[in-house]
Amino acid sequence: MIWDEEFETLPREALEALQLKRLISTLERVYATVPFYKKKFNESGIKPSDVRSLKDLKRLPFTTKADLRDNYPFAMFTVPLEQVVRIHASSGTTGKQTVVGYTRRDINTWAEVMARSLAAGGVQKNDIIHNSYGYGLFTGGLGVHYGAEKIGASVIPMSGGNTKRQIIVMQDFGSTVLTCTPSYALFLAEAAEEMGVDFKKLKLRVGIFGAEPWSERMRDEIERKLSIQAVDIYGLSEIIGPGVANECIEAKRGLHIFEDHFFPEIIDPETGEVLPYGEKGELVFTTITKEAFPLIRYRTRDISALYPEPCKCGRTHVRMERVSGRSDDMLIIRGVNVFPSQIESVLMNIEGVEPYYLLLVDRKGKLDTLEVHVEVNEKVFSDEVKDLQALGWKIEKEIKDLLGVTAEVKLVEPKTLQRSEGKAQRVIDRRKI
Ligand code: DLL
């Protein structure tokens, strides 16, 4: 179902005209109210009035996470705090937290794009949404909540944790939609199995999963174990929270970016040059309707590509490929660039291996080492030692063949690696400590 037929199916020309109008008004707003932007634009010798077409956007400087840190906590806001009705923050893995603010209109915009996202995943007003994204400073919980209410669905504000109770609620209340991180969805499946609850007998029919990278194989695994359809939702606090883009359930091939609110670009992360449609690079967003905290050319560090081809769902907004990793997540192991998602793909293609793994990177002397801890299923674990050893070697060989890096694989007992209620931590890099 398309939530906002008019805006989500705008012909390209009309969409671009709208984007330009909104872009110019955003640029004027930040130039007039945020000293950081005024200084940066002046240094680049460009004024908002110089931007006459969408192509001119690339003449503007990027905004980075470091800029947000330098302006911590509120110096990037365009309005006085009395107009800010909500504040969220994301902790990130390094450095100071990033603080974001919303006016009342921003909260409405967010609810609107979240309603669109949920509707794209097939959610309707008679659904019961079991929302296990964390409520709090994290944008997941409240973001989904407002979108669900806007649709008129019944939302259960579960938040993360208390996994057994989650299963009981899902069973007793007849939840039809699950919203949480993909890793937590798998954990819920595991917990249900231990409690003797059969997911196939539950009313759950769809899951809207995001906030961390996941693979096509993981989608298959979740769909099979939970007996549902799984769609991908993308977003980041800085841009608005969840609801920047969402897959449509009709195609499940890439996420439609709500381009009448967020203007996307893909750049080469090394040179900053804008790349054409279809090429992989770093996603950059400019918000064109936000009031309190607009961002101009914000470098997300997320790796993706954009596809403008028409979609069978009827939406005209471009699709982004599922995020395969972050440019700053890339591990360089003995000179070889490795993304955790590449190792995940290798693991998920091997029979007997469970979707729980941890990558441990260390430096012994001058040499980097990579240990891959991965859980195997009960059946494999009860095999003879020599079979387990052979499986370990097989994984090592596949990693070496496909990624060109030597890893030491440790097969661990089922259910021994830490489960996450929110974003899973899959890499420990001891070299930085
Ligand atoms: O994770 C917002 C969100 C909540 C999105 C719930 C989807 C669902 P942050 O905590 O600021 O916000 O983290 C943003 O998470 O830059 C990506 O690296 C990653 N991320 C978010 N969604 C996806 C996804 C929320 N579908 C950062 N696939 C982003 C891969 C994702 N990575």
Q: What is the pLDDT of residue 97?
A: 87
Cα dist from 418 to 95, 190, 388, 404, whole Å: 24, 13, 22, 28
Question: Across residues 55-63, what is the average pLDDT?
Answer: 97
Q: For ligand 1, atom 16, which residue shows the shortest CA distance?
A: 236
Question: Across residues 412-417, what is the average pLDDT?
Answer: 94
Is the distance from the beta carbon of residue 236 to the nearest atom of ligand 1 less than 6 Å?
yes
Question: Which of 96, 234, 330 has the most ligand 1 atoms within 8 A of CB, as the residue to mutate?
Answer: 234
Question: Across residues 131-142, what is the average pLDDT?
Answer: 96
115 and 234 fall within a common domain: yes
Lowest mean pLDDT of 64-78, 121-135, 359-373, name the range: 359-373
Instruction: Find out whether 241 and 233 touch, Cβ atoms under 8 Å.
Output: no
Centre of ligand 1 to C-alpha 188, Å, is: 20
124 and 53 fall within a common domain: yes
375 and 260 fall within a common domain: no
Q: What is the pLDDT of residue 219?
A: 95
Instruction: Find out whether 133 and 207 touch, Cβ atoms under 8 Å.
Output: no
Q: What is the pLDDT of residue 94?
A: 54
Q: Is residue 1 part of a domain?
A: no
Q: For ligand 1, atom 28, which residue shows the shortest CA distance?
A: 213
User: Tens of pLDDT along 245-267?
Assistant: 999 999 999 999 999 999 999 99
The overall average pLDDT reported for the chain is 95
Question: Which of 138, 178, 285, 302 has the most ligand 1 atoms within 8 A of CB, as the residue to mutate?
Answer: 302
Which ligand 1 atom lies nearest to the CA of residue 138? 10
Is the distance from the beta carbon of residue 139 to the nearest atom of ligand 1 less than 6 Å?
yes
The interaxial angle of helices 12-33 and 35-43, nearest 10 deg, is 110
**pLDDT > 90 in the chain, percent:** 86
Q: What is the pLDDT of residue 95?
A: 64
Cα–Cα distance between 160 and 168 in angstroms, integer?
14
Is the distance from the beta carbon of residue 242 to the nearest atom of ligand 1 less than 6 Å?
yes
Tell whether omega for the bond before 264 is within 30 degrees of 0, i.e. cis: no
* pTM attached to this predicted model: 0.91
What CATH code is carried by the domain that includes residue 338? Answer: 3.30.300.30
309 and 336 fall within a common domain: no
- Gap between the terminal Cα atoms of the chain: 49
Q: Is residue 56 part of a domain?
A: yes
Question: Which of 98, 116, 236 has the most ligand 1 atoms within 8 A of CB, as the residue to mutate?
Answer: 236
292 and 348 fall within a common domain: no
User: Tens of pLDDT along 268-316?
Assistant: 999 999 999 999 999 999 999 999 999 999 999 999 999 999 999 999 9
Centre of ligand 1 to C-alpha 302, Å, is: 9
Is the distance from the beta carbon of residue 181 to the nearest atom of ligand 1 less than 6 Å?
no
Which ligand 1 atom lies nearest to the CA of residue 208? 8
314 and 343 fall within a common domain: no
Q: Is residue 386 part of a domain?
A: yes
User: Tens of pLDDT along 82-127?
Assistant: 999 999 998 765 567 899 999 999 999 999 999 999 999 999 999 9
Sequence-distant (≥ 6) Cβ neighbours of residue 194 within 8 angstroms: none
Q: Please say which residue of 295, 312, 328 terminates a domain.
A: 328
Q: Is residue 135 part of a domain?
A: yes
Is the distance from the beta carbon of residue 60 to the nearest atom of ligand 1 less than 6 Å?
no
Is the distance from the beta carbon of residue 131 to the nearest atom of ligand 1 less than 6 Å?
no
Centre of ligand 1 to C-alpha 382, Å, is: 37
Q: For ligand 1, atom 9, which residue shows the shortest CA distance?
A: 236
Domain total for the chain?
Answer: 2
198 and 243 fall within a common domain: yes
Instruction: Find out whether 226 and 220 touch, Cβ atoms under 8 Å.
Output: no
What CATH code is carried by the domain that includes residue 24? Answer: 3.40.50.12780
Q: For ligand 1, atom 30, which residue shows the shortest CA distance?
A: 213
Cα dist from 390 to 100, 387, 395, whole Å: 50, 5, 9
Q: What is the pLDDT of residue 91?
A: 76
Task: Look at phi and psi of residue 316 and say left if phi exceeds 0, alpha if psi is from -120 to 50, else beta.
Answer: alpha
Question: Across residues 360-374, what is the average pLDDT?
Answer: 91
More confident residue, 88 or 365: 88
pLDDT band at 224 (very low <50, low <70, confident <90, very high): very high
Q: Is residue 2 part of a domain?
A: no
263 and 209 fall within a common domain: yes
Burial class (CB in 10 A: 0-12, 13-18, 19+), 87: middle
Q: Please say which residue of 328, 351, 380 terminates a domain.
A: 328
More confident residue, 140 or 96: 140
Which ligand 1 atom lies nearest to the CA of residue 300? 16
Look at the chain and count its residues: 433
49 and 177 fall within a common domain: yes
167 and 234 fall within a common domain: yes
User: Tens of pLDDT along 34-48?
Assistant: 999 999 999 999 999
Q: What is the pLDDT of residue 431?
A: 85
Q: Is 424 helix (H, G, I), strand (E, B) or coil?
A: coil
Centre of ligand 1 to C-alpha 364, Å, is: 33
Query: Given CA atoms 292, 256, 424, 174 in this order, what sign does their dihedral have?
Result: positive
- One-letter amino acid for residue 25 of the chain: S
Instruction: Find out whether 341 and 215 touch, Cβ atoms under 8 Å.
Output: yes
Cα–Cα distance between 102 and 97 in angstroms, integer?
17
Is the distance from the beta carbon of residue 211 to the nearest atom of ligand 1 less than 6 Å?
yes
Centre of ligand 1 to C-alpha 236, Å, is: 5
Lowest mean pLDDT of 90-104, 109-123, 372-386, 389-403, name the range: 90-104
Cα–Cα distance between 388 and 411 in angstroms, integer?
8
Q: Which structural domain, as residue segments, surrounds residue 318?
A: 7-328
Is the distance from the beta carbon of residue 323 to the nearest atom of ligand 1 less than 6 Å?
yes
Which ligand 1 atom lies nearest to the CA of residue 301? 16
List residues bridging with 129 in a β-sheet: 155, 177
DSSP state of 193: H
23 and 158 fall within a common domain: yes
Q: Please say which residue of 278, 306, 328 terminates a domain.
A: 328
317 and 353 fall within a common domain: no
Sequence-distant (≥ 6) Cβ neighbours of residue 255 within 8 angstroms: 232, 233, 234, 245, 246, 247, 319, 320, 322
Q: Is residue 247 part of a domain?
A: yes
Instruction: Give the H/E segment covering residue 147.
Output: helix 139-151
